[in-house]
A = this chain, B = another copy of it.
C-alpha cells in the first residue's frame, strides 16, 4: 500500500539524514530550521560521522534510530542517496524528502540515478518529494514543520504553495512574509520523481487548512492529468499559477499552417483557460492576486466604486479599471444625497468619488459607510494618499472599521505612504489587502472576476459521433504502407468524410474538353486548381482560378494554369481539380498541431489573411467539449464576420462547432496524425453549403 502524503506533511517523527563531507557537514541548516520552528514531534539527526548535532544525539544510520520514523529528510551526496533510501525503506519510513541534487536535472546519468531511487521508493510503498528540492513546510501549529534549508519560516495562513524551483520558492516565501501573506503548506517538488504538482493539487483539494493554491511551474509532467485534476480542484479552491519557460515546437511544426501558428505558450494558455486556473504573468501579480484571495471574496460583478482623497490616483485607478474590463457606474442619487450632508461641495460626487485632500479618517469612515450599501457595486477601492496633515494610521483604522464586515471585495491603495507603513501594516494585520499602486488593484480585480465567470459556467460535455473509423484507418494504413509523410487531396477529404465532416467533392480533368464537361456537370461558377504535378503553395504560383462562369472561362483557365506550371518549372503530367464555387461562404481554417508537452491542440481561425497575417486563431487542448467548441469559434477577433457582419446572414455556427467536435474525435482516435490542416472549410448560412474544400494530414509512423 502506498502511503498518503500525510506522512510527509503531517509526520509525528522526522529523521534528518545528513552527511559530513570535506566541505563540512551538510543537512545542519535543515535540522536547525526544524528545531527553530519547534516541530511538534520527535526529531532524529542521522549522520555517519557526528554523534551530536545542534546538541541532539545523532545516529549513524536510520536503522539505529530507536523509534519509528514517519518522514526522512535526505541531504547526502547524490551517490549515497540510493543506499540511504534503501535503509529508510527497510526501517519502515513512510515519506521522503530528498533535497540532494545531481539527478535528472543534470542529464542521463542523473536520470538513471533518479529512476533507481524511485524504484526503491515504490518497492517499499513510500512517497517521495524531490530530489533536487528545497524542502517542505507545514505551518499548522499541531505540526509546525520547517524542513527546508532556507531562512524563512512562513507565517501561518491558508495558501498552499507548490513550487518547482527551490530558489523561486525561497524568494517567494521571503516576499510573502514582507507582504503579510501566510501559507498552510509549502511543497518544493523539485524533479517530481514521485510526487508531482498534480498530486499536490489533489492533496490540497481535501486539505481543510488550504483555501487557495499558488503554483510556480516550469513544465507539466502530465498535462492531461493536470487538465482533469485542475478542472476539478479549481471549482472548489482557486488556483493561481505562474508558468515560465516557453514551448518551442520542433522544426517539423513549420510544415503546416496550424503548426507554424501555434506559437509559444499557446498550449499553456489553452490549458489554464480550459481548467479554470488563473494564470498570472509575473511573480508580482501572483502576490497581488494571492493577497486579495486570502482575505476577500472574489468580485461578484465587474462593478467597482473608487473612493479617494486625491484626484490623480483616482484617475489612474479609473483608467486601469476600465482598461481591464471593469465598470464604474456613477453613484446613485440616494448615495449622493447622503454624502452631500458632510462632504464639501467642491468634492466630486462621481465615480471615482474624490473627497479632496482634507479628507481624513472620519471622512473615509462616513463615506465608506454610505457607499458600501450602494448595491450598484460589488467591489470597493479606497485610495489614500497621505498628506502631511493627516494621520495615516487613523485613516487605516477607519477604513477597517467601515469595511470589516462588508460582503464585498475590498482592496485598498495607500499610495506614497511608504513601501510598508504603519497604516498599511494595520490594514494587512486586519485582513484588508493594501496595495501601493492602483493599477495592481485593477488587474487583481479583473483577474479574479474573470476567473469567477469562467469557473461558474456550466461544464461542457464530450460528444461521440458514429463514424466510419475503419475507412479512415484503411486510408491511413495505405499511406503508411507507401511510406508517405502526408495525406492530401481526395484521400484527405475522404478521411474527413468518414468522420461525418462535410467535404466538397473534386472532379479531375486532364484536358480541356473533359474540364468543360465536368464544369457543366458541377454547375457554374466553379473553382479550378492545379491537381498534378503536385504544388505545395498553389496560390503563390497562381495555381488557383476562381469564379469561372462559362465554358470559355474554363478553357482559358486551363490554358493559363498549364502555362504557369510550366513557367514555375514544375514537371510531370498536367491535370486540374475542380469544385463548385460556394458564393456567400466565408473561408475558415481548422486544424490540429502537436505540442510537445500538451499533445494535440485543435485550432480554428478565419481563412487566408486572417490566419496568416493577422494571426487571429484560437487553440484548445484536445479533446474538445461542446462548450469548448463554441468558445473556440467565438473567441476570434474576427468572429463578427461569422455572426452576420453588416447585415449579412450569420453562418451556420452549429455546423462549425460540430465539425470541430468531429475533428476532435478523429484526433482522439488516431494518434498517427502529427498535424492536420483543413483549409479552407467553407462556413455558410446554409448548412448544405458548409464543407471542407481541401485538407492535409501530416502523419508519423511511430
Q: Which A residues lie at the B interface, using CB under 8 A?
A: 29, 102, 106, 149-151, 164-168, 170-175, 178, 216, 218, 242, 244-246, 264, 281-284, 309-313, 315-316, 318-320, 322, 346, 357, 385-389, 415-420, 436-437, 439-440, 537, 539-542, 609-610, 612-614, 616, 637-638, 640-641, 645-647
Residue of B nearest to A285 (CB): B439
Q: Are B149 and A388 in contact (CB under 8 A)?
A: yes
Complex partner residue of A316 from B244, B312, B637, CB under 8 angstroms: B244
> A130 to nearest B CB, angstroms?
14
Cα–Cα distance between A436 and B419 once the two chains are bound (Å): 13
Complex partner residue of A540 from B315, B316, B612, B647, CB under 8 angstroms: B647
Residue of B nearest to A442 (CB): B282
Please name all residues of chain B whose beta carbon is closer than 8 Å to the beta carbon of A542 when the two chains form the complex. 647
> A633 to nearest B CB, angstroms?
15
Most buried by B among A284, A322, A418, A609: A609
Q: Are A322 and B385 in contact (CB under 8 A)?
A: no
Q: Could you pull out 5 A-B pairs where Cβ atoms are within 8 angstroms?
A: A150-B388, A167-B311, A168-B312, A168-B385, A283-B415
Q: Are B638 and A167 in contact (CB under 8 A)?
A: no
Cα–Cα distance between A465 and B417 once the two chains are bound (Å): 57
Q: Are B29 and A436 in contact (CB under 8 A)?
A: no
Please name all residues of chain B whose beta carbon is closer than 8 Å to the beta carbon of A415 when the two chains form the complex. 168, 171, 283
Residue of B nearest to A383 (CB): B167
Complex partner residue of A418 from B174, B320, B616, CB under 8 angstroms: B174
> A384 to nearest B CB, angstroms?
10
Please name all residues of chain B whose beta carbon is closer than 8 Å to the beta carbon of A166 when the two chains form the complex. 357
- The 8 A-B pairs at the shortest CB distance, nearest first, are namely A171-B416, A165-B312, A167-B310, A168-B312, A174-B416, A540-B647, A167-B385, A282-B439
Q: Are A312 and B244 in contact (CB under 8 A)?
A: yes
Q: Are B436 and A175 in contact (CB under 8 A)?
A: yes
Please name all residues of chain B whose beta carbon is closer than 8 Å to the beta carbon of A616 when the two chains form the complex. 614
Complex partner residue of A416 from B172, B436, B610, CB under 8 angstroms: B172
Complex partner residue of A313 from B29, B167, B386, B387, CB under 8 angstroms: B167
> A389 to nearest B CB, angstroms?
8
Residue of B nearest to A437 (CB): B284
Please name all residues of chain B whose beta carbon is closer than 8 Å to the beta carbon of A106 when the two chains form the complex. 346
Q: Are A419 and B178 in contact (CB under 8 A)?
A: yes
Cα–Cα distance between A419 and B645 once the two chains are bound (Å): 52
> A578 to nearest B CB, angstroms?
20
Q: Are B150 and A315 in contact (CB under 8 A)?
A: no
Please name all residues of chain B whose beta carbon is closer than 8 Å to the beta carbon of A637 when the two chains form the complex. 613-614
Residue of B nearest to A177 (CB): B418
Cα–Cα distance between A357 and B310 once the two chains are bound (Å): 46
Q: Are A167 and B387 in contact (CB under 8 A)?
A: yes
Cα–Cα distance between A170 and B614 once the two chains are bound (Å): 44
Q: Are A167 and B312 in contact (CB under 8 A)?
A: yes
Cα–Cα distance between A555 and B616 once the two chains are bound (Å): 40
Cα–Cα distance between A322 and B244 once the two chains are bound (Å): 12
Complex partner residue of A246 from B310, B322, B640, CB under 8 angstroms: B322
Residue of B nearest to A547 (CB): B547
Q: Are A439 and B284 in contact (CB under 8 A)?
A: yes
Please name all residues of chain B whose beta carbon is closer than 8 Å to the beta carbon of A322 when the two chains form the complex. 246, 264
Please name all residues of chain B whose beta carbon is closer than 8 Å to the beta carbon of A310 when the two chains form the complex. 165, 167-168, 171
> A536 to nearest B CB, angstroms?
12
